[in-house]
Structure 1
């Protein structure tokens, strides 16, 4: 038997599995999907606690994750970079955003209407199609095991390990009978990068963002609550491109190279990270991170590892 089985192969499950293995535990990760097929692979993956409100441990997770990705960027980890980021606000706020203490040096600049302020900071960004396979390889080289397996009941994993980590995202709603779990549909468009290096985010709804990566630029997006539709919509694509061109006119004429739809695993009340004792053993729940999985991942993994050991 393994010491711990992590159920779920997205960024939350992979980082938790890595932290547990680093503590010397025998860890197996169960995932029905390859890294490229998880919802994490669809994410724009630019550090920012999208859709979350202040909670001390959420801020701590975000700060730890920010620091970890900054170190990985300096170390040349594949798929990890740091981008100057401009958040454009319209609400007239003058105080410090709740997440700012986690983001290093944050600057506040005046902005032209319709915006009321620009918040500028450096943010880690991750190309998930590169990073997730690298992380899985690192986990396996450290002695972890990955098994392609889907579960219908958490008891299936508890039959094979005394402790499991439930990092199943949206599936946690049915696996745990949690009515607070719901999908938030996100559609993105990928265009060839014509030489853009600064991320820009307009914080109104629908959120509009431009996140440059190595070869392409992620344009978004949508925030469609309780939608299970994973088919890209042409009208939505056109609207996204139009909004993003308003923010970054340099993208005019950049060819579209792809589009994706992902369902963010949101939860009313915020992420559930806690221990539950069941008849077959111990479950450490780690789900409900919504669109902030990358932003909270490594910090959350530290807490999950502590709860599991």
Structure 2
């Protein structure tokens, strides 16, 4: 058992929920059954759908962009088209646009909100399969994970990417699935007799993964796209017909995330909102942490999150952010004990629902459990 002297640095959990930018919220684009990554022809357009990645958009981004590139490459080999449109300026849209430029296409990105206002920009950034379904797609997902991981590793800190240990009190399905689907891609889990932190006496597990800092990563993508001549157009679309009336390009890559529910009438899409508490930057913290929630120390903030709310309301909740911070701080003996709230992802009710979803056939209808509060 590690000694107290070997403990890793303890976070400072000082948090003012009323401070500007202290609380943020985003909508995870959760799609029942599986994410959507396929092409179709509609209204004379070649449409590639790339959405529904839940909380794993950043994780899967480069791999999905490579699949989009393959589909479009096959199309232009026959059609000789030279232009493409991308719908959405989140991580899926920006990485897809990057790979379309690699094909020599002229690329226009249409979005109702620019990258700094997207859920991607608000994400925590751990490289893991968080809140995404993929029934029947293990083989495809292995390729996607491998491409994404290797691309992020090559990008390194220039793209806001850091190799980090993740200490978890329980086996983390989000990382265990990567070990199962793509064995050897990330190091194997280490089992610990004690979590190496002040106030901890429980066993745990150590994973090695990546931390991708969304603000740095997305800004680098946008800067590169601008430098390579991609064009950004701020445009809101009402429905699919409106898309086809405003977008002139014959090739369209649909990366609208939760917006696909309205635009493509995709009833499998559900909003899963998450709050994030943004604590001050603490450079002595070089690890990720998961117990009753999660904590990701980044170079801009220490990010604490882990709740689950079935709403598309993006207004952050100060009360939720305070609970998120307290849930982590109490593990270090720095806050009064509390029961894990029922709308936290690590609550047994949510855990069981996610387990059932993982075992369900791809076409099984689902309704995510809503916040009981």
**Residue of structure 2 in register with 1:304 after alignment:** none
- Looking at structure 2, the residues matched to 211 and 68 of structure 1 have their Cα atoms a distance apart, in angstroms, of 21
**Residue of structure 2 in register with 1:287 after alignment:** none
**Residue of structure 2 in register with 1:136 after alignment:** 222
Cα pair 1:5 1:157 within 8 Å, conserved: no
Alignment of 1:251-270 (within 5 A): none
RMSD of aligned alpha carbons: 2.9
What is the CA-CA distance between 1:248 and the residue it aligns to?
5.3
3-state SS in 2 of match to 1:18? helix
3-state SS in 1 of match to 2:131? coil
**Residue of structure 2 in register with 1:125 after alignment:** 211
Cα pair 1:84 1:199 within 8 Å, conserved: yes
**1:110 lines up with 2:195 in the alignment:** no
What is the CA-CA distance between 1:222 and the residue it aligns to?
0.7
Cα pair 1:8 1:167 within 8 Å, conserved: yes
Instruction: Look at both structures and tell me which one has the larger radius of gyration over its CA atoms.
Output: 2
- Aligned to 1:97, which of 176, 191, 210? 176
Cα pair 2:152 2:161 within 8 Å, conserved: yes
- Give the direction of change, closer, same or farther, for the CA distance of 1:247–1:199 in structure 2 (3 Å limit): farther
Equivalenced residue count is 243
**Residue of structure 2 in register with 1:197 after alignment:** 286
- Give the direction of change, closer, same or farther, for the CA distance of 1:41–1:10 in structure 2 (3 Å limit): same
What is the CA-CA distance between 1:236 and the residue it aligns to?
1.5
Cα pair 1:90 1:115 within 8 Å, conserved: no
Unaligned regions of 5+ residues in structure 1, if any? 253-268, 271-309
**Residue of structure 2 in register with 1:182 after alignment:** 270
**Residue of structure 2 in register with 1:83 after alignment:** 164
**Residue of structure 2 in register with 1:234 after alignment:** 318
- Looking at structure 1, the residues matched to 184 and 236 of structure 2 have their Cα atoms a distance apart, in angstroms, of 35
TM-score using structure 2 length:
0.59
**Residue of structure 2 in register with 1:218 after alignment:** 303
3-state SS in 2 of match to 1:65? helix
What is the CA-CA distance between 1:149 and the residue it aligns to?
1.3
- Give the direction of change, closer, same or farther, for the CA distance of 1:248–1:29 in structure 2 (3 Å limit): farther
Cα pair 1:59 1:102 within 8 Å, conserved: no
3-state SS in 2 of match to 1:77? helix
- Give the direction of change, closer, same or farther, for the CA distance of 1:215–1:153 in structure 2 (3 Å limit): closer
